[in-house]
Chains A and B, each alone.
Chain A
Amino acid sequence: MASASPTANNAATTPTKLRVKRFPPAQTPTNTYLTDEKGVWAWLTTVDHKKIGLMYLGAVAFFFALAGFLAIALRTELWTPAKTFIEADTYNQLFTLHGAMMVFFVLVPSIPAALGNFILPMQLGAKDVAFPRLNLASFYIYVFGAIFTFLSLANNGFDTGWTFYTPYSSDSNSAGIIWVTLGVFILGFSSILTGTNFITTIHKLRAPGISWDRLPLNVWALYATSIIQVLATPVLAITILLLAMENILDIGIFDPALGGDPVLYQHFFWFYSHPAVYIMIVPGFGIISEVITTFSKKTIFGYWAIALSSLAIAFIGFLVWGHHMFTSGQSAVATTIFSFLTFLVGIPTGIKIFNWVATLYRGSISMKTPMLYVFIFIFLFSIGGFTGIMLGALSVDIHLHDTYYVVAHFHYVMMGGTLIALLAGLHYWWPKMTGKMYNEPLAKIAAGFIFVGFNVTFLPQFIMGAQGMPRRYYNYIDQFTPFHQTSTIGSYILAVGFLIILYYLAHSLFKGKQAGPNPWNSCGLEWQSTSPPDFHNFSHTPVVIHGPYDYHQPMEEFQLGLAIEHGHGEEHAAADATTSEAVTSETTEA
């Protein structure tokens, strides 16, 4: 069926020569996306990717504050070896909630759905994502999933840990587990829709001139992420559905009491949840690549190596789930293979780190806040990555499995990696999103608080983990008291850092200086629009004749927008590779 179709549809688009023209850059925004439609209702029903991105950002910030607040409560409870102020059962529920919210409501949607939604179409020179209404739907599905999770709290809650392992979760007498699994099931659709949308947008909606080798690395990272989202999330969906059925109907696939297999559940769960780790971290890599070039004023070192290593991580990430089950009774052969494959993931990740550092070499580095976060990222993420390799080593993992060492490891990756990258991206694109600058000295102070607070919180956890402190325990023996107390103090320092950020970003919204279209002098396409951007992102459809990191070109090349002249709608050509090439050669001559 499919084959007969394009010809019938194609009449309007025989590739013709594009009429391109240079436009002076628009300096003062006239009709921005913030002023185009006003009122709460216009926001709630908008299909504009920028507004949806901001709504996601707000929701993610809300859940981050909530789950962060829980973390502070948990750390405070651990100040003394016995009860400090929370009951043991409540403690179990709180750490479960902290984990589930941070993973499903914060880390997974944070970079792709919030920042990605805003920036991706702009980096492609598109007016929107391919399916704007699905984009809005994905936001409401996310909200709906969150409501289900809160309903579970009203139904006795859940205390299985965020992994919902059977038989904890299948034997639970609490109705809360059914609600939260349904919530996560619903949430998966939001992730799938975002992934589908991004893949289609990247393939079909690139502006003329953006060939695959001119794709910003942030786009490559989001592309790799979307592939993982589309391939892994449905497996979580069916797993969670089976788990819910296990609770509602006792169908017996995972429940050992009925003849089912709990390790099968772990296989299913980690087949999603390990790739999901890369859903969380790979978009962070994209942000780092963008920020590091802008503030080094230098072409990225190893463009293809970074672009393809994202895809390599996406691919290998699917083959390592078994390293979560070294102690669950897998066969010795399987554990050995999984251990080997786990080491393999270190290679593309290492390639990225080395390329970033090589990009810095002889660049003209300016230490603005986003760049500061990049350095924090490289430092913290490297520790997280190396300790991950140690956990992938079989004999070491038998000792460290389910200790605080693991907790420290994944916080170094997820918080020291993803969240720090999110902060880098937020500070980098904040002037673009709001049109305002923030208080730079305060921002640097906050970054200092976060860096210090983070290490004070999580370094001691490596030590006590190595000494045998198990994770998720409510009580502990006295020898761990100094470590726990240091960790708790660190978490307070961390909280202060985030409060400072909240203060100066709010201040910037109301009283910040005007940013101007390109405050960082970046070559990126998104900076050629006004700040905040036009309702349609660009006042003219841009035509791209340079790579995204061509800092060796004179800056005027980028600041004078090359664009398709309007009023010739029939001459618009789709941005497929062939027409793009034609455009390029023609315009460079002119």
Chain B
Amino acid sequence: MANHSATHPKHVHHHFVNSNQQFESAKLGMWVFLVNEILFFGGLFCAYIVFRAWYPELFTQAALELNTFWGAVNTVVLIGSSLTVAMAIRSAQNNQKRGLEINLLITIFLACVFLVIKYFEYEHKLHLGIAPGSFWNPTPEIAAVLDHPKANIFFGIYYMMTAVHGLHVIIGIALMVWLYLRARKGHFNSEYYTPVEITGLYWHLVDLIWIFLFPLLYLIE
């Protein structure tokens, strides 16, 4: 294997024949991982479907407690971040170091905005005693409107779905910060931008899952 260091570009690992094979492998690996993510969330969606089929009136009643306005704002924020991450990949492909950095920063900012809004939504609910599981203790005003005996289950599902999604957003932010630090060191160019591309794929999925969560939880009539 004597000549490998001489013929391989620096970013290509020793077991790949060339840069393209490495890029294709990384992308396929990410797609397989995304399939995995879909099934992971699929379990939660399945629980949602089962309980909604059993208690349809509970779901319409409980969904009124969720703030549609802020949910909609968050949807726009996340879709915007999907656009900027796509622009970041484009910049990397075109060797635009500055564009890559700026787009990554905007994406990180939008992801943080999403989490801040989510935090205030949670905070408001916990204040009203609409808390998950054994902490379920709604104030009398809420209990008067939300009189379904299984109301805690809707919010059990709500908290599980949004918290697991929120965790994915946090992981996405961490990845994006890592990309930004590497971008500043000039690691990415038109020859090598694999991490930017596959993180982008991941981010699109996180966005997409929210696009399903928003109507299923907030917009039930």
Contacts and interface: CB of A to CB of B under 8 A. Distances in A.
A540 to B, nearest CB: 9
The listed residue with most A CB atoms (<10 A of its CB), out of B7, B32, B150, B152, is: B32
Contacts of A192: 33, 36
Nearest to B3: A567
A259 B27 CA distance: 43
B107 to A, nearest CB: 13
A13 B20 contact: yes
Contacts of B186: none
Interface string A117-152: 000000000111111100000000000000000000
A230 B18 contact: no
A196 B14 contact: no
B44 A238 contact: yes
A256 B20 CA distance: 54
A199 interface: yes
A127 B14 contact: yes
Contacts of A536: 1, 14
Given A268-B43, A574-B17, A9 B191 contact: yes
A234 B32 contact: no
A268 B42 CA distance: 11
Interface string A279-290: 000000000000
B43 A196 contact: no
Contact of B32 (A8, A199, A241, A242): A199
A259 B54 CA distance: 11
Question: Which among B14, B25, B159 has the greatest number of chain A C-beta atoms within 10 A?
Answer: B25
Interface stretch (A58-66, A246-254, A384-392, A515-523): A246-254
B50 A131 contact: no
Contact of A251 (B24, B90, B132): B132
Interface residues of B, number: 61
B50 A261 contact: yes
B40 A235 contact: yes
A573 interface: yes
Given A126-B15, A569-B7, A197 B29 contact: yes
Contacts of A250: 133-134
B15 A127 contact: yes
B134 A5 contact: no
B32 A230 contact: yes
Given A127-B14, A258-B153, A235 B42 contact: yes
Interface string A242-275: 1001001111110000111100100010000000
Q: Decide if the interface of chain B is mainly helix, strand, loop or mixed.
A: helix
B153 A253 contact: yes
B160 A574 contact: no
Contacts of A264: 47, 50
Residue picked from A8, A131, A231, A249, most chain B C-beta under 10 Å = A8
A6 B50 CA distance: 43
Interface in B59-93: 86, 89-90, 93
Interface string B30-45: 0011011101111110
A249 B42 CA distance: 22
A235 B197 contact: no
Contacts of A566: 1-3
A255 B83 CA distance: 42
A432 B164 CA distance: 45
A13 B44 contact: no
Nearest to A536: B1
Given A5-B93, A6-B24, A127-B14, A570 B36 contact: no
A462 to B, nearest CB: 35
> Among B14, B29, B35, B86, which residue has the most Cβ atoms of chain A within 10 A?
B29
19 contacts: A4-B90, A5-B27, A9-B20, A12-B9, A127-B15, A195-B32, A196-B29, A196-B36, A203-B28, A205-B15, A205-B21, A230-B36, A234-B40, A238-B42, A245-B133, A249-B135, A268-B46, A536-B1, A541-B17
Interface of A: 1-2, 4-6, 8-13, 126-132, 192, 195-197, 199-201, 203-205, 230-235, 237-239, 241-242, 245, 248-253, 258-261, 264, 268, 536, 541, 566-567, 569-570, 572-575
Q: Which 3 A-B pairs have the closest CB atoms?
A: A569-B7, A249-B133, A238-B43
